[in-house]
Amino acid sequence: MSELATVAPDITPTSGQPRRRTLSAIAWPFLGLVIAVGVWWAITATFHIQTFILPAPGKVVSAYTALQAELLKQTWSTTVSTVVGFAISVVVGTLLGIAIAAWRPF
């Protein structure tokens, strides 16, 4: 057992290592997002895909800015529906669980 302890490498972080990890944790996802949007834009421009099938990123941004109030209103409606549906499922699921545990034929 003591041999394993002496073989394990020293993994104490140096002073620059946490900053490098933080930069890497931000840079790679950002780069992935930039590449994904670039591919999206290139596909819509190259293949002339109709807007109702796949709009270009610029059209999505302009539609968001033009319809921001309506989108926020619909977001609230969707959130309320989701919370109510989740609450109903918790109640029904709990009652079914109790019924299954308490009544053998069920």
How confident is the model over 53-63, as pLDDT tens digits?
A: 999 999 999 99
Rounded to two decimals, what is the model's pTM? 0.57
Distance (Å, whole) CA 103 – CA 106: 6
Q: Kindly report the backbone phi and psi dihedral angles of residue 25, in degrees, each rounded to the nearest multiple of 5, phi listed first.
A: -70, -20
Quick one: DSSP state of residue 56? -
How confident is the model over 43-100, as pLDDT tens digits?
A: 999 999 999 999 999 999 999 999 999 999 999 999 999 999 999 999 999 999 999 9
